[in-house]
Structure 1
Amino acid sequence: MVIAFSAGKLIVSPFEIQARLDNGCLLYAMVDDIKFHDDALMLVADAGAVRWNIKLDSNEQLQEVKGELGIG
């Protein structure tokens, strides 16, 4: 599934999330390393030494990602 947001697009699969940003950066993380901060609309990847976060534009986008991953 592809979800467009203001900074680029998210590509969500059952195993991995890729964030392809408009500035040319590509971030990816395994689903097990992803956390969600609903109140801040943040998708946070934390794999120990490597960390990044993406602020989405709307709660609908966040819920779409969570739904694709089967997270209530």
Structure 2
Amino acid sequence: MVIVLSAGKLILTPTELLCRLSSGATLRALPDDIRLVTTPPLLIADAGAVSWTLPLDGVECLDDITEFYGFAKE
């Protein structure tokens, strides 16, 4: 599944989430390392020594990610 954001796009697969930013940077995370926050809408990837946070364009993006991976929102 591909989700287009103002900052780039998210590519969701069953085994990983790939974030391709408009700047050319690429961020990867395993589904087990992802957390979603509702207010403000954030995708947080934390794998211990490496972590990153991506503001999402809206709750619709959160809904798409939670539906795809079966996550709960915080």
Match of 2:65, SS state, is helix
Q: Which has the higher helix share?
A: 1
What does 1:1-72 align with in structure 2 at a 5 Å threshold?
A: 1-72=1-72
Q: Any stretches of 5+ residues in structure 2 without a counterpart?
A: none
Pairwise CA RMSD:
0.8
Deviation at 1:53, TM superposition (A): 0.8
One-letter code of the match for 1:40?
A: P
Deviation at 1:38, TM superposition (A): 1.1
| TM-score in terms of structure 1 length | 0.95
Structure 2: how far apart are the matches of 1:69 and 1:41? 17
Matched-pair identity in %: 44
Q: After the TM superposition, which parts of structure 1 deviate over 2 Å for at least 4 consecutive aligned residues?
A: none
Aligned residues: 72
| TM-score in terms of structure 2 length | 0.92
